[in-house]
Amino acid sequence: MVRRLLCLVLVCGALLLGCSAAGSGTDTVRESRLPAEARRTLTLIDRGGPFPYEKDGSVFGNYEHELPAERRGYYHEYTVPTPGSRDRGARRLVTGAAGETYYTDDHYESFKEVLR
């Protein structure tokens, strides 16, 4: 009983602090803790656009294998503008067909699952 309670406390604490999601190995971040530009991009995604970048909504190939393996076309990517950047920058949101959302600020080298 004590062991189960301790496990529950650790899992809840990890989720509240934005640490690794239980069993997934992917870090998490609450939507409210994302940069303002990422929150604005999420609003555009929820509305279905219009998107400011031509590549927004394109298929994300997951070639880095940082996200769970899924069939091609499962993930789509969206640009999160970076203030002062002359190009699209390194920040992206990636959505999955089941409704999950991931954020990267290092051009796909690492991801955090967005808790909405």
User: CA-CA distance, 104 to 5, in Å (whole number)?
Assistant: 33
Q: Indicate the average pLDDT of the chain.
A: 86
Residues with catalytic function: 77, 107
92-111 average pLDDT score: 97
40-55 average pLDDT score: 97
2-19 average pLDDT score: 44
pLDDT at 70 over 90: yes
Domain spans in the chain, listed from the N-terminal domain onward:
28-115
Report the top-level CATH class of 28-115.
alpha beta
pLDDT at 78 over 60: yes
- pLDDT of res. 67: 97
78-87 average pLDDT score: 94
**What are residue 78's DSSP bridge partners?**
93
The count of other CB atoms within 10 Å of the CB of residue 66 is: 15
